[in-house]
Structure 1
Amino acid sequence: MQRPVQRLTVGLTAAALMAVGIAVPATAAVAAEEPTDLIISEYVEGTSFNKAVELYNPTEADIPLTGYSLEVYFNGSATATTAGTFALTGTVAAGDAFVFADEDLVAFADQITANNLWNGDDAIVLKHDGAVVDSLGQVGFDPGSEWGTGLTSTLDNTIRRNANVCVGDTIVNDVFDPSAEWTGYATNTFDGLGSHTVDCDGTPPPPPVADCDAEIVAIGAVQGSGSASPLIGSSVEIEGVVIGDFQVGGFNGYYVQDGGDGDPATSDGVFVYAPGGAAVDEGDLVHVVGTVSEFNGLTEITATVVSTCDTGLALPPAAEVTLPWDDATYEALEGMRVTLPQELSIIEYFNFDRFGEIVLGTERQMQPTAVYEPGSPEATQLAADNLVNRITLDDARSVQNPDPAIHPNGAEFTLENRFRGGDHVTDVTGVLDYRFGLWRVQPTLGADYTAVNPRTDVPDVGGNFTVASFNVLNYFTTLGSRGAATPEEFERQESKIVSAISAIDADVFGLIEIENNGDDEVSALDTLVAALNEKLGAEVYAAVDTGVIGTDEITTAFIYKPSEVELAGVFKILDESVDARFNTDLNRPALAQTFADVETGEEVTVVVNHFKSKGSDCNDVGDPDTGDGQGNCNLTRTAAAEALADWLATGPTGAEAGRELIIGDLNSYDKEDPIQALVNDGYTDLLLQEQGENAYSYVFDGQLGYLDYGLVGSGLAGEVTGASTWSVNADEPDLLDYLMGFKQDAQDAIFAPDAYRSSDHDPVIVGFDFIAPELSVTVDPEVVFPPNAKWRTVTFDIEATDDSGEVEVELVEATAEGHKAQVEVISDTEARVLARQGAVYTFVFEATDPSGNTTTQEVTVTVGP
């Protein structure tokens, strides 16, 4: 389309220029803001300890530094340490600079420190009386090694604030791009330290003029047919329709797509990076002048001039893409408008709260070692299949803890508009994007959403004696170390845990990840029991008082209902002092307690465990990740499992061996060596038995499996009535949890004091039946007359009941006493007796329930008188 060049007067605004098709710079020319406080004006991250920050006072008044501090946020942390917080002293005169530096740069410094300072991936915040004044970097995000590239980066460089920056960046968790406001210099450039100038007179420079009719290159030529652009570093002019406007939310840019170059191997879309640029809208036809680069695998153009040449155009049709993906196919569509017509399952949502990300898959995915033997070809193939049958649905924002959180249907995520793992979406539409090593869809439309995995009530596992394993995820009464950081967070955490425990209503709970402060006057365990009983309105639960167990901050514990079960003997602990194979520097000690059912006296030894996690390595004990899918520390967990089985075989609590229930977080999927060691020793995996191969209690990396167990000994297996997880946690996004530290206020408000997302692990519940059936048998007639030596038929009326609802009754014995007395059993309800004077016939009935509990009753028939 040919368009005449418009000629305008100087008085037109940037918005007016856009409306009529004249270019504005990619970074909009705006007046400098009026300075009100100090700014960070220079940053030095040089060799060794050559590190400094320069502060500049752009105001017209001196600023005393009382109440000012610099805070360093190391390695993506969202909080500053005491060692990384520096109170500033002195006064910064109007128009003067102040240098805070390591003692190695004392010649340039106004204030020095001997503490180790920052590296290239550490954010820095300037505060006054706790309020943010300026920031450098992105708090809560670790960029790897640096923000930025080349000289204009935070690693091994000096960067200086541009002269038109007069006000600090007070949003500490937004995306940080040094090139937007800083100019870079070589390593160990110190010549500017202590002096800075700004231009805050409010006069913006005039915008450059560009021509919408200038010659352009096809976007396909910019993208090329390979994994990277063939034009990296080149200045290009392209033109296309805006298909995704992501200028707000941290992306600082938008996607454009042209009509194509006819080559299916090259993408017709590209990302235009234009921080601070003039606004564009979807459907705008824009002419972009800029430099081509690859940013973490994404081809983009850093714009210098952007012209809006037309508005309100129809978007190009969305290309259909399907899973499984392959790099070549997706690379040819990078930056283009796409739709995924498949019905996809929500499989991962760990980053939903922090980054607005959801992972979609063709179906819910299982952990390979939850289905197949570790290292087997089947496990390897499943891992590969899982990888290519998933894609990330992003939210077109890179700020952390975005507000509002967006549901896959495009609306705001609320308690009334939420999702669960396993729910379905179809027709996901947006821009195909590549960031942080993953293919993503940046949505431009809401997807069709169907809830197929609703919340459920507590599963009924039957029986009269129930045991539950519950990971309470760092329930700490000592605030701040782990778990809740504030009283409000603790109240929220406790309300959820108490709601879950009270709903499960088990007779015995084995707790995992509770604070190990049992020697305190009021421990975390005591506090939890008190809160639980307060909710229940009576002293329903009591704790097994173990004191401190081991040396870890977290421990295992028991609570129980004294009205239903009694403690049989004292608790016992397995640690490395009992068996050197049970390394309690890495595993938490196993806690065993025998409980007796009050009604029947039947005993069960429950053992709650927390084996070493896969998250950190055990290289120092010769137990690395071998790559077979079992992760770190598999040998450590396996040795613990073997030691546990051998210990329980000795009957450590004094109770009968074989009547144990092993529960807890064993940090192993069910086909892995630690679990197989226990199974091979005679323990039955109840989740596998009752729920099958697809049972799960945990979601990690979008893959399901169970780390939490009910493993029952051979002497107890026949009395199990059921076992199940309760999916209150693993299927729920952690945006619903109690934590508040990272969330925006609106996210904090998405909270309910219910059981859902009370932890990250689902509880496991096991039922046992120790109560024998009730049996009532009557016989007709009870007395046979006359004694005429003839055969007479007697019938039995049988009534039998059991709490399981199932009972089998059998006539197991029939005897005859007396001269020539004879009896014949016809069925369980009928028999024949010979009417001999003085004969006595005895019939024994036995009722059996599904758990093997039995009740017997005798009835007699006499011949008389």
Structure 2
Amino acid sequence: MPSSAVPRTPAVAALVAAALAAGLLAGSTTAGAAENGPVRIHDVQGTTRVSPLVGGQVTDVPGIVTGVRTYGSKGFWFQDPEGDGDPATSEGVFVYTGSAPEVAVGDSVLVSGTVGEYVPGGAASGNQSLTQIARPAVTVLSQGNAVPAPVTVSAWSVPSAYAPEGDAATGGSINGLTLRPRAYALDYWESLEGTNIRVGTSRVVGATNAHAELWVTVKPWEHPNLRGGTVYGSYEAQNTGRLKIQSLTPLAEQPFPSANTGDIVAGVTEGPLDFNQYGGYTLTARTLGTVVDRGLERERTRPQRSGELAVATYNVENLDPSDPQEKFDALARGVVENLASPDILALEEIQDDNGAKNDGTVSAGQTVAKFTEAIRAAGGPAYEWRSVDPENNKDGGEPGGNIRQVFLFNPERVSFTDRGAGDATTATGVVRERGRAALTHSPGRIDPANAAWESSRKPLAGEFSFRGRPVVVIANHFGSKGGDESLVSHHQPPNRSSEAKRLLQAQSVNAFVKEVLKADRRADVLVVGDINDFEFSGTTQALTAGGALRAAITSLPRSERYSYVYDGNSQVLDQILTSPSIGAFAYDSVHINAEFADQNSDHDPQVLRFRP
């Protein structure tokens, strides 16, 4: 077996050292097992997230094979059919073989090997670890045995409290805390790590993805929305009933079902509970229920009226000319049919003319031309466009892709006020002209030299005129959440390091809006785009500081506030914020992508209509 089967990251090494110091590593047995007989699986798992035997050898641990995985991290799960009656100790564990296991479900086995704590994604990810036995020697005693009865997971078995507060002495980690599965959801799931579990008929809250996974909830009443999802509304209101489901059957043998949010997985889904890098606790299904299509339809917003200006934002997910025409056509239909051809459309993730090819190309004229032509072919307006090309590889995103924001506008409804277009490094400013605020560069970038925008998309400001009334629109694509720990981190609450950059970015945009309002307190300003943060986040609070802006999505009922679905949580990433002069407006988060297995983008567009 490869040495990486038992990772010796600094975090795990520290755990081993602590266990040795405490006298918890005693060869093949724990203190209790030495008195009562050979090591069993519950001795390996222990009553915390870290095995008391980590780094040690175990010999002839008995159990029944409950699941075999022949792809990805190859190995098998086995479970003690007897157990110790302690709800904090799991009776199942994963055996990492590294190659296709030579066992079958129902085999009675004895396993010898090294106990490890594998951290999916590495220690820097902050993920919890998966207790496993590696470098195994396996003896099959008999075959065709009954699989240990599954633990039925239901709405009543998962606690409503999410996690204990981490131990301050260990940097907020919950690794060393004794599990309390009747008190906390994360402790409950951890107490079942490796155990054969079962869920009954459940609602899908995260559509089937490209990795053949979906998310269900075992708590149908937990923060639901009318379309079937589960809304993530605050850091303190975690959705404890979410559970990821994968199939143990290779896709070549049995395709994974396609399901949208709101569909039902009917019947029994059963298999071992795994923990992996993406999403954490995962039911790896030997038996998968049947997907029942509930007929979720893509939303259509109403058309704007003659006196209304419709401003929209849409992250089109790394669009470039090498994408198939089908993607352009589908996105175009979304603009025309679902967004009702807004007057102004801010696009995020428009790539340069050769996409990810990293050859210094920064222009995006071909990308935009292909998209606007697709919109026209779909029956939409002949949009014109404005943008500012970035410096090569200075705005983050896919290397060579040079993503940027682009304004599309319908010249039959609105005009663009061109004022000496800026370049990638020239900042637009604000002047007072004839009693109104005006931009020194339109289109122009806001504060591009600010360190807050290093390796990130710089905001694009544009000045428009609608029925003689000036409107300033600022298109944004804030820094991503990359580097943040997941909701199932061993740190509770998780570390959200990416927020620091978005906070600075929000402060930069807020300061610019205040400059506009200082020049004209009646100015109509809209800050739009992929903010990459929640409506309740510090980022949004910084954007709205001092009353400069209002987060328009908060005008919707709480159950309708979402633009993205991540790990079964329907949540806000895309926003439109308005200046005080924009009093009455109609806001719509138009759900056409995030809830569906068949997506044209991973984001839902947002649209706001008002009368300037």
The normalised TM-score by structure 1 is 0.49
Question: Counterpart of 1:648 in structure 2: which amino acid?
Answer: V
| 1:179-204: CA deviation from partner (whole Å, max 9, x where unpaired) | xxxxxxxxxxxxxxxxxxxxxxxxxx
Aligned residue in 2 for 1:439 = 281
Aligned residue in 2 for 1:309 = 142
Matched, 1:529 2:372: yes
Aligned residues of 1:419 and 1:732 also touching (Cα < 8 A): yes
Measure the CA separation in 2 of the matches of 1:534 and 1:555.
24
- Residue in structure 2 matching 1:710, options 571, 576, 579: 576
Question: Counterpart of 2:572 in structure 1: which amino acid?
Answer: Y
Identify if the C-alpha distance between structure 1 residues 222 and 662 changes in structure 2 by more than 3 Å, giving closer, same or farther: closer
Question: Counterpart of 1:319 in structure 2: which amino acid?
Answer: V
- Residue in structure 1 matching 2:385, options 525, 544, 552: 544
Matched, 1:663 2:528: yes
- Residue in structure 2 matching 1:562, options 411, 421, 427: 411
Matched, 1:640 2:491: no
Aligned residue in 2 for 1:336 = 195
Q: Aligned pairs, how many?
A: 488
List aligned pairs for 1:496-645, cutoff 5 A. 496-503=330-337, 504=339, 505-515=341-351, 522-536=365-379, 540-546=381-387, 548=389, 552=395, 553-567=402-416, 570=419, 576=427, 578=429, 583=450, 585=454, 586-596=456-466, 601=467, 603=469, 605-615=471-481, 631-645=499-513
Structure ranking higher in strand proportion: 1
Measure the CA separation in 2 of the matches of 1:475 and 1:724.
24
Aligned residues of 1:289 and 1:303 also touching (Cα < 8 A): yes
| 1:557-601: CA deviation from partner (whole Å, max 9, x where unpaired) | 2222333334456587696453886635455133213133xxxx3
| 1:204-257: CA deviation from partner (whole Å, max 9, x where unpaired) | xxxxxxxxxxx98654455555541549644523444332233x2244333333
Task: Name the Cα RMSD after superposition.
Answer: 4.4
Matched, 1:403 2:239: no
Measure the CA separation in 1 of the matches of 2:246 and 2:40.
27
Aligned residue in 1 for 2:319 = 475
Identify if the C-alpha distance between structure 1 residues 529 and 222 changes in structure 2 by more than 3 Å, giving closer, same or farther: closer
Measure the CA separation in 2 of the matches of 1:472 and 1:760.
8
- Residue in structure 2 matching 1:458, options 293, 296, 300: 300
Aligned residue in 2 for 1:835 = none
Aligned residues of 2:244 and 2:283 also touching (Cα < 8 A): yes
Aligned residues of 1:708 and 1:764 also touching (Cα < 8 A): yes
Long gaps (5+) in structure 1: 1-26, 28-136, 138-145, 152-214, 373-378, 406-410, 478-486, 619-624, 737-756, 771-865
What is the deviation of 1:353? Answer: 2.3
List aligned pairs for 1:366-445, cutoff 5 A. 371=233, 379=235, 381-382=236-237, 385-386=238-239, 389-396=241-248, 403=251, 412-413=255-256, 417-421=257-261, 423-425=263-265, 427-436=268-277, 438-445=280-287
Aligned residues of 1:273 and 1:302 also touching (Cα < 8 A): yes
| 1:274-331: CA deviation from partner (whole Å, max 9, x where unpaired) | 4556744333x433353242241323364434335242x4333212233245566555
Aligned residue in 2 for 1:764 = 606
Measure the CA separation in 1 of the matches of 2:495 and 2:384.
41
- Mean Cα displacement is larger for which, 216-225 or 443-452? 216-225
Measure the CA separation in 2 of the matches of 1:683 and 1:700.
27
Secondary structure of 1:530's aligned partner: helix
Instruction: Decide which structure has the larger Cα Rg and report it.
Output: 1
Identify if the C-alpha distance between structure 1 residues 264 and 506 changes in structure 2 by more than 3 Å, giving closer, same or farther: same
What is the deviation of 1:545? Answer: 4.2
Measure the CA separation in 2 of the matches of 1:658 and 1:347.
40
Matched, 1:259 2:129: no
Question: Counterpart of 1:511 in structure 2: which amino acid?
Answer: L
List aligned pairs for 1:88-107, cutoff 5 A. none
Question: Counterpart of 2:317 in structure 1: which amino acid?
Answer: L
Long gaps (5+) in structure 2: 9-36, 119-129, 160-180, 354-360, 396-401, 431-445, 485-492
Secondary structure of 1:473's aligned partner: strand
Aligned residue in 1 for 2:104 = 281
What is the deviation of 1:765? Answer: 1.6
Question: Counterpart of 2:328 in structure 1: which amino acid?
Answer: E
| 1:820-865: CA deviation from partner (whole Å, max 9, x where unpaired) | xxxxxxxxxxxxxxxxxxxxxxxxxxxxxxxxxxxxxxxxxxxxxx
Measure the CA separation in 2 of the matches of 1:626 and 1:318.
31
What is the deviation of 1:370? Answer: 7.9
Secondary structure of 1:731's aligned partner: coil
Measure the CA separation in 1 of the matches of 2:196 and 2:232.
37
Secondary structure of 2:368's aligned partner: helix
Secondary structure of 2:499's aligned partner: coil
Aligned residues of 2:198 and 2:269 also touching (Cα < 8 A): yes
Identify if the C-alpha distance between structure 1 residues 576 and 298 changes in structure 2 by more than 3 Å, giving closer, same or farther: same
Measure the CA separation in 1 of the matches of 2:478 and 2:327.
24
What is the deviation of 1:763? Answer: 0.7
- Residue in structure 2 matching 1:723, options 571, 587, 595: 587
> Percent same amino acid at aligned positions?
18
Aligned residue in 1 for 2:490 = none
Matched, 1:353 2:185: no
Aligned residues of 2:67 and 2:77 also touching (Cα < 8 A): yes
What is the deviation of 1:611? Answer: 4.6
List aligned pairs for 1:116-195, cutoff 5 A. 147-149=4-6
Measure the CA separation in 2 of the matches of 1:577 and 1:434.
49
Identify if the C-alpha distance between structure 1 residues 628 and 329 changes in structure 2 by more than 3 Å, giving closer, same or farther: closer
Aligned residues of 1:511 and 1:608 also touching (Cα < 8 A): no
What is the deviation of 1:607? Answer: 0.6
Question: Counterpart of 2:65 in structure 1: which amino acid?
Answer: V
Aligned residue in 2 for 1:42 = none
Aligned residues of 1:614 and 1:667 also touching (Cα < 8 A): yes
Aligned residues of 1:684 and 1:717 also touching (Cα < 8 A): no
Secondary structure of 1:761's aligned partner: coil
Aligned residues of 1:369 and 1:672 also touching (Cα < 8 A): no
Instruction: Compare relative contact order (CA 8 Å, sep 6+) and give the higher one, 1 or 2.
Output: 2
Question: Counterpart of 1:433 in structure 2: which amino acid?
Answer: D
What is the deviation of 1:529? Answer: 1.6
Question: Counterpart of 2:429 in structure 1: which amino acid?
Answer: V
What is the deviation of 1:342? Answer: 7.9
- Residue in structure 1 matching 2:152, options 309, 314, 320: 320
Question: Counterpart of 1:710 in structure 2: which amino acid?
Answer: I
Measure the CA separation in 2 of the matches of 1:554 and 1:423.
34
What is the deviation of 1:764? Answer: 0.8
Secondary structure of 2:210's aligned partner: helix
| 1:44-72: CA deviation from partner (whole Å, max 9, x where unpaired) | xxxxxxxxxxxxxxxxxxxxxxxxxxxxx
| 1:772-829: CA deviation from partner (whole Å, max 9, x where unpaired) | xxxxxxxxxxxxxxxxxxxxxxxxxxxxxxxxxxxxxxxxxxxxxxxxxxxxxxxxxx
Measure the CA separation in 2 of the matches of 1:457 and 1:365.
18
Aligned residues of 1:219 and 1:238 also touching (Cα < 8 A): yes
Aligned residue in 2 for 1:11 = none
Measure the CA separation in 2 of the matches of 1:476 and 1:681.
38
Aligned residues of 2:232 and 2:569 also touching (Cα < 8 A): no
Aligned residues of 1:338 and 1:430 also touching (Cα < 8 A): yes
Measure the CA separation in 1 of the matches of 2:294 and 2:575.
26
Identify if the C-alpha distance between structure 1 residues 613 and 693 changes in structure 2 by more than 3 Å, giving closer, same or farther: farther
What is the deviation of 1:260? Answer: 0.4
Secondary structure of 1:304's aligned partner: strand
